[in-house]
Chain A
Amino acid sequence: MTINIDNKNNDETTTDSASKEMESSRRNFIFGSVAAAGLTVAPGIMLYQTANARSLSDFSLKEGASSKVRWGMLVDTTKEVDWNKCVDACNKEHGLGNETNSRDEQKTQYIRVVEVKNKGTGYSMSLPVMCQHCESAPCVDVCPTGASMKRADGIVLVDRHRCIGCRYCMMACPYKARSFVHEVLTDQTENTPRGKGCVESCNMCVNRIDNGQEPACVEASDGAIIFGDLNDSESSISKILAKHGGKQIRADLKLNPGVFYQGI
């Protein structure tokens, strides 16, 4: 995986366990102290080694989202990957698919596999499409209450306490990335409080990012989706984009999505 996920939370956990060991014996105390010291210094060394490339854990939500960062994804459609694994991971992460009454065309999908075929040449490919986390997001512009919003770090999401369910954002999204909850839901996951009458969409697994983890689809993609900071020229995603390029879907609309694709 190209993103460096040495997690500060892990560091803290390890430090805690080292402290316990310190109490048990002198030998363990020395070992624990060394380990704790090492782990405290390690992130600094890591930062130094990677020539200032910021790791995901640096952004785990302690100070709120920062506009210094712009989270993005790069999808390599040329890789032989079963994209449905990403869909499954997303559904599991957000507890999707728990509708009992809705028709298929009413059910929520945060990410879908789109088959694209060139009728002229016969060339075809498939790719995952989710919220493209546009810089100039039409859904954010049209939302009357500001429920549809863009976080400072570029993640587009819906404030479910503010959404009145007018669906104007669904009309405005060129990527058809949004779904409306058509029925009463139960057994939601803790991190994704979905409810009847609100609009929802991929939130780039904001709960995971704030915890120093990658989005679920990225984790399930066998390396075909790279996640990282588009503002950081030293991040893997930026380096690959700089070297090999990447395209945005409907770039002609000039919305500057945060999701890039290779091979489209």
Chain B
Amino acid sequence: MKKLHFLEVEGNSKGFYAFFALFGLISLIGMLAAYYMEHNGHWVTGMNNQIVWGTPHVFAIFLIVAASGALNVASISSVFAKTAYKPLARLSGMLAMALLSGGLVVLLLDLGRPDRLIVAMTKFNFVSIFTWNILLYTGFMGIVGVYLWTMMDRPYNNLTKKAGMAAFIWRLILTTGTGSIFGFLIAREAYDSALLAPMFIIMSFSFGLAFFLLVLMGSYKYTQRDLGDYIVNRLKNLLGVFVAAVFYFVVVYHLTNLYSADHRDITLFILTGGGLYTFLFWVVQIALGSLLPLVLLYGPTGKNRTMIGLACALIILGGFAQLYVIIIGGQAYPMHLFPGMEVTSSFYDGVVASYTPSLPEFLLGMGGVGITLLLVTVAVAAMKFLPASLADEVANPHSK
């Protein structure tokens, strides 16, 4: 095995400026969309008093969930001592921080009063799982930051394992917290399940690794660095396991809900009669986002980089669909004010709430993705996050 050597991406290059401009533009458009929504108020969005969390929340929660998942590669290296993943640990930690930043920006800018961020940072209600999440996100940034430091500053390398363990435990708690934002809502039948927290953890494994693999393959392709099959195959095989695990959780989640009479209505709504939500569930989440990627990753195309990239993109697309169904579909289905009765009112009781995502909402969400990728672009050029080569003779610990 050749010696591992980390190297910055050349910042003074056309490629760097092109990506910087592209992701910067997407981020800028997102910020302008946020300004437009905040200036006018949320009436310019598709959100309303029934669907109170819309498309920005789908993006924000995707990015936050993916953030903790992206850290997995580093955890496998430091906590579970798998040397094969060590070259990827820095990118993993940095990507986790970048994803979390993007997600938090979206979440913040969709607040009714983002100007009151200081209130959210100083007035805490510790009964609120939201408060816990604010602390968990802030802590994640700090811990992963220290973790990266121990990896990148040689005198502190001996602390990497401990920092990695802390980050690993923290990320598990963090995703539990994110899942619990929904799991703690007694009123909403769609979310009333303890299964949501572990399901969010396994979703984070899958979405985070898919994003990681795409960024890895993309950055090595566009910097013309070697990325051998050894590392890619390991990652894509692991990704397939995570996709299958998410699929398993989804099946169990819906089966248990179908079994209990009081959750059957909402489950049947999502699975059969929910229009767009049903389409997103079966076609995008299950067929395109779960089954097709499994075929692409494990089938005859399993070694084709383009197909692996496509599988990652599909997993991400399926992830968005899954969160859209959970977050927006779960709100669209009416709450039972009087269970078993037919209910109507001027406030849309008893009817499926309508929601059409607006362009500014989508652009804000994309802005979060843009910020993530912009941070990654700058980070890989500024510091030594990427190994100069991940060719098999470098990456494979068993290679001669």
Contact = CB atoms under 8 A, between A and B. Distances in A.
Interface residues of B, number: 51
Contacts of B52: 167, 170-171, 180
Interface stretch (A2-10, A115-123, A218-226): A115-123
A99 B41 CA distance: 11
A107 B120 CA distance: 26
A138 B186 contact: yes
Interface residues of A, number: 56
A227 B135 CA distance: 41
Interface string A127-164: 00100000000101111111100000000000000111
A138 B192 CA distance: 14
B350 to A, nearest CB: 8
A75 to B, nearest CB: 14
A109 interface: yes
B36 interface: no
Interface string B380-393: 00000000000000
Nearest to B345: A114
Interface stretch (B121-129, B196-204, B283-291): B121-129
A114 B112 contact: no
A96 B376 CA distance: 47
Contacts of B123: 145-147, 162
B128 A168 contact: yes
A112 interface: yes
Nearest to A172: B185
Contacts of A138: 185-187
Contact of B112 (A99, A171, A172, A198): A198
Interface of A: 99, 101-103, 105-109, 112-119, 129, 138, 140-147, 162-168, 170-176, 178-184, 196-199, 249-250, 253, 264
29 contacts: A101-B41, A103-B43, A105-B49, A105-B50, A105-B353, A106-B42, A107-B49, A109-B49, A113-B345, A115-B343, A116-B338, A117-B342, A129-B337, A141-B127, A142-B127, A142-B128, A142-B130, A162-B119, A164-B114, A168-B130, A171-B331, A172-B186, A175-B337, A176-B50, A176-B337, A182-B41, A183-B42, A197-B112, A199-B112
